[in-house]
Amino acid sequence: MGDSRPELIRDIAGLRDRLAVARKAGSPIGFVPTMGALHAGHGALMDAAKRDCNFIAASIFVNPIQFNNKEDYEKYGRNLPADLDFCAAHQVDVVFAPGPEEMYSTEQDAFVEVLNVSNGLCGEFRPGHFRGVATVVTKLFNIVQPDISYFGEKDAQQLAVIRRMVQALNMNTQITGVPTVREPDGLALSSRNQRLTPEERAYAPILFQALDAARLKALGGCQSATEVRAAGLDFLSKEPRIRLEYFEIVDAEDMQPVTHISARICIAAAVWLGSVRLIDNIAVQPLIVSPGR
């Protein structure tokens, strides 16, 4: 593993100049957009990028316009020196860490909105969130012009929104989804986990266990989304300290609710543990056995 610090670039013009040099040298550019507070989930994105591309750019930018809750924005973990060490260990070549004034130097009066796939799930409970994500990711793609960009499957709806945006707006980057990294007890890695109290951390894995109970129900041949959802909710109700935001069975492509399970689904949930909101999901390819076989 390389451990020399990546080049840190704060301004758009400087990053463009640096990437032009990399491109001229014939390096395909792999891009990992992040909001910092890096953990092994981000490490998996960087490692996947390194397997495909020999030049890796990562961005670290806590994007104000995707937060619909001021406290969540303010409390979001920020530790650039630790993040740079982390990027070094994952062989990132360049880290772009602009301040908000660099990304939003003029009034942001142009936005990117991806309809349909942004509806429901997080789109329902975090109004404006996906508009903020799609807008900043478009800006980052325009700045970096990456060959391949990497996003975690943990944020399944975000990944679906970005795939749709790239396709619908003919953006010139390939999108690669990277599987969720989990703690040994199943809890999906998230920057927000560090805000859990020890007590909350102890019962947090029930979110994954509830998703898994629903997954097993679907894999057992149940094609009723209501029943699959009930299996998950039953499990989740064992922990009364968890506040449910949503627990839904959606189509894995367009993230819209299904009633009858006949194709790949995503079982997606968001819950609150004290003041921390966690999301997670599991994709399931049901084993459909046709009648008479």
DSSP letter (8 states) at residue 37? -
Instruction: Kindly tell me which of 120 and 177 has the beta carbon lying closer to ligand PAF.
Output: 177
Residues in binding contact with ligand PAF, number by CB under 6 A? 10
CB 78 within 8 A of CB 36: yes
Indicate whether 279 belongs to the interface with ligand PAF (CB under 6 A). Answer: no
Tokens of 146: 């990456």
Per residue, what are the HEC states of 221-261? CCCEHHHHHHHHHHHHCCCCCEEEEEEEEEECCCCCECCEC
Q: Among 63, 138, 157, 180, which residue sits at the site for ligand PAF (rule: CB under 6 A)?
A: 63
Instruction: Kindly tell me which of 66 and 214 has the beta carbon lying closer to ligand PAF.
Output: 66
Backbone φ and ψ for 223, nearest 5 degrees, come out as -105, 5
What distance in Å separates the CA atoms of residue 188 and residue 191, rounded to the nearest whole number?
10
- Look at residue 286 and give its three-state secondary structure: coil
90 is catalytic: no
Marked catalytic residue, from 42, 90, 129, 260: 42
Using the contact rule CB under 6 A, the part of the chain among 96-104, 131-139, 174-182, 220-228 near ligand PAF is 131-139
Quick note: the x/- pattern for ligand PAF over 71-110, rule CB under 6 A, is ----------------------------------------
CB 162 within 8 A of CB 153: no
What distance in Å separates the CA atoms of residue 163 and residue 177, rounded to the nearest whole number?
9
Instruction: Kindly tell me which of 137 and 225 has the beta carbon lying closer to ligand PAF.
Output: 137
What distance in Å separates the CA atoms of residue 155 and residue 135, rounded to the nearest whole number?
17
Q: Among 83, 153, 155, 200, which residue sits at the site for ligand PAF (rule: CB under 6 A)?
A: 155
Q: Among 45, 48, 56, 133, which residue sits at the site for ligand PAF (rule: CB under 6 A)?
A: 133
Cα–Cα distances in angstroms (integers) from residue 217 to residues 212, 230, 285, in the given order: 9, 10, 12
Tokens of 237: 């109700």
Using the contact rule CB under 6 A, the part of the chain among 81-89, 93-101, 129-137, 224-232 near ligand PAF is 129-137
Indicate whether 123 belongs to the interface with ligand PAF (CB under 6 A). Answer: no
Indicate whether 66 belongs to the interface with ligand PAF (CB under 6 A). Answer: yes
> Which residues are part of the catalytic machinery?
42
- Which residues would be at the binding site for ligand PAF (CB under 6 A)? 33-35, 63, 66, 133, 136-137, 155, 158
